[in-house]
Chains A and B, each alone.
Chain A
Amino acid sequence: MTAASDLIEFTQLHRAMKDPDVAHLVIGLNKVVSSRLVTGLHVEADEKDQGVAIRLRLDAGQRILKPVHMCFGLLQEQGIQEIEMDLDVGDDSEIHVMAHCVFPNATDVRHAMDAAIRLRPGARYTYFERHIHSPAGGIRVLPKARIELEPGARFKTDFELIEGRVGLIDIDYETTCHERSVMEMTAKISGKGDDVIKIREVGHLVGEHARGVLTSRVAVRDSARADIYNKLTASAAFARGHVDCQEIITGGGIASAIPIVEVSHPRAHITHEAALGSVDTRQLQTLMARGLSEDQASELIIAGLLS
């Protein structure tokens, strides 16, 4: 099999790729190995030594309701993949992206993403990124994104890394929300062994009636470590925001969370909640009173948290 077919096989994209109305883009190492576009969606890709620079445009008024599949990954044990992404979502347009990031054999891999994303007025963009890593943990994942939401735009992102070992992940997302825009950023990560999880998510609610939610759900087992930094600022009237961080530790895991909320307008409002620690005793006892062992109960609770 070719690298392209291997990646497609691994991500089980076949069915989606058979549908002519479904756009996709498959990047293997530093090459676009497969792509299909749909009306209003434009992609330019430049191959680089260690990755690809992608410019993606969605025309104003275009609504692509079937998810666009993007696949990034390396099937090799070692390598570097650097993705530069420049995404411009046009006025009143809509796009939903499912990104599959697969590194099933990694022993020494570095995957970096540097994205600049602009949502024009009234645009809607959802981005679901799912990582599948090797059980070896030999990977460093460095996703960075700067996102600008123009008036009335809506942005929702879910980052999920719950299969395989994390290795090292260092997320750095920063969003600026103008008037009446809405942002939701969620990260769900499960670490074990000596995995290291770093999340830095920042949102600035600078426009009136802007809304934002930063959510982190992290489980750390063994000697894994997680450091979460969530910051939400509000500087305009009627801006509303919430920061919600939950981390469960088992074994020798270590978790820290720094939620920062900063309000500089008397009519803005931000709340935050954080819970760090062992699995909740009442939850454990409830499940154990149904006959589950402590380990089975913990796994169900953690799976729920990360679902």
Chain B
Amino acid sequence: MGLLEIRDLVLSVNGRRILDGLSLDLWEGYVHAIVGPNGAGKSTLSYTIMGLEGYRDFEGEILFDGQPLRGLGVDERARRGITLGWQEPARFEGVGVRRFLQAGAKDKDPAALDEILRQVGLPPERYATRSVDKTLSGGERKKVELASIVAMQPRLVLLDEPDSGIDVESLQRIREAINLLKAAGSTVLLITHSMEVLSWAEHAFLMCCGKILDKGATDQISPYFAERCIPCSHRNVPQLDGSDTP
């Protein structure tokens, strides 16, 4: 039994079917990836699992640890151990980095939080009291968000495009943070269309047009994605020719 089980998930946004009968299982303690072109429905899937407003009215079933998530709010799902890192993290004027981490941290001890900041490449002496606002670069905010997720010690982490808008050095730090999460026992689901990020995962799902087309070890999925999906001339087109499955 997976930590997260999704069965026949259907979700429409503004009358358009984004998730179209999708099913998958996430095994506990693994780093998984969902890979697919823009518009495949990857982010929508993560919002639906997290229960964001506008993404709760779905058909099918989502079970976390065997329990249905239907009807639960974002905070209730978070308290069960699910969290989400956004592609573009929010800014919080006047909220210090350490305070931001403390908000959801399991261990609120400042020394423990400072150690997490160090681990994601944000020296606490430089960052702990800075605000999580526009004075931080996109990459710095991404690392702050990851630090807050590490501090939360979640059971399932959904990371939407963790490489979006960051430099090479920061990418390495983010990879290390994901390793930290895994080492702490978290299950990670990376949402990506990047070959680099895909390579971090142990197990991958190939997604297009709201469906899971294939799943398997990352080295099985990545060649098809690189050779067929990336050059695909039908990217962002919601219709899928059923014969084009791997």
Q: Which residues of A contact B (CB under 8 A)?
A: 246, 280-283, 285-294, 296-297, 300-301, 303-307
Contacts and interface: CB of A to CB of B under 8 A. Distances in A.
Contacts of A306: 94
16 contacts: A285-B53, A286-B145, A289-B78, A290-B83, A290-B103, A290-B149, A290-B152, A291-B75, A291-B79, A294-B73, A296-B103, A300-B99, A301-B92, A301-B95, A304-B94, A306-B94
B93 interface: yes
B50 interface: yes
A291 B53 CA distance: 15
Given A285-B52, A304-B131, A293 B75 contact: yes
A289 B72 CA distance: 12
B148 interface: yes
Interface in B90-111: 90-95, 99, 103-104
A219 B209 CA distance: 43
Nearest to A290: B104
B131 A282 contact: no
A285 B50 CA distance: 10
A87 to B, nearest CB: 29
Contacts of B113: none
Interface of B: 50, 52-53, 73-75, 77-79, 82-84, 86, 89-95, 99, 103-104, 131, 145, 148-149, 152
The 3 nearest A-B residue pairs measured at CB = A290-B104, A304-B94, A304-B95
Contacts of B78: 288-292
A280 B90 CA distance: 9
B89 to A, nearest CB: 7
Contact of A291 (B86, B104, B145): B104
B103 A287 contact: yes
A305 B94 contact: yes
Contact of B93 (A282, A288, A297, A304): A304
A289 B94 contact: no
A286 B86 CA distance: 8
Given A290-B148, A300-B95, 5 more contacts: A281-B53, A282-B86, A287-B104, A291-B152, A304-B131
B73 A300 contact: no
Contacts of A293: 75
Contacts of B73: 288, 294
B94 A307 contact: yes
Nearest to A282: B90
Contact of A285 (B74, B91, B152): B74
